[in-house]
Amino acid sequence: MKFLISGFEPFGGDAVNPTGALMEALAHEVIEGAVLKTVLLPVNFDECADMLIAEMQVFQPDIVIACGLAKGRTAITPERIAINVKDIPPGSYADNQGQRPVDEPIAAGSPDGLFSTLPIRAMVNDMTAAGIPATVSNTAGTYICNNTMYRILDYIRLQQLPVRAGFVHFPASTEMAVQAPSVPSLPLPVMLDALRSIIRTVMSETETNKQMNKQMNK
């Protein structure tokens, strides 16, 4: 099963982004049954999704898992839904090109929201069973992460691709918390364990669904 997994470069004044470090670590991982390809995305509206879609066109994945930083969250949070808006409220940081969209649609004429097609509940259950803090999130925000998730799901919808996709937010890393001790954080090895768990859960759930479909079509 082919997995395309993305992380982001640093943004918002931080020197690091744990999802970038996760992509570096995952590039050396071997998970039985999975072919892994990682990509590091810029924190720029639309350019991020354009790059990920271009990688999809070349790699032809079965699964796309986009990963991003949600500084301030205390758990790993698979996102349930992406909404068709890009909006930076007053006082929030711009993207890395200085863009500050307000109330703009991501894709005019496309649905107001698109749901993840990853098995998010099973992912959370398996991470929790492994002692990793995780919960389903019902908002991916209106920044780059939501922008990326929405564009990928809309591309899959429009092209009618047999690809499952979604987004997972990760907390700050312990390295980041050294500079800001009040920020909730998790060690990078724990986040890497979570990503391994997510990949295995997605493979297991996808294979189960395939077997069920075969039985129903007999």
- The token pair that represents 116 in the structure block: 């993840």
Backbone angles phi, psi at 129, to 5 degrees: -65, -25
DSSP letter string over 83-119?
Answer: ES-B---TTSPP-TT-----SB-SSTTS-SEEE--S-
Active site residue 79: yes
User: Per the residue annotation, which of 67, 104, 169, 205 is the catalytic one?
Assistant: 169
Return the residue matching tokens 């999130």.
137
Ranges of H-type helices in 4-134: 18-26, 47-59, 120-129
User: Per the residue annotation, which of 48, 67, 79, 104 is the catalytic one?
Assistant: 79
- The token pair that represents 48 in the structure block: 């991020």
Active site residue 28: no
User: Per the residue annotation, which of 48, 55, 67, 145 is the catalytic one?
Assistant: 145
Name the residues annotated as catalytic: 79, 145, 169
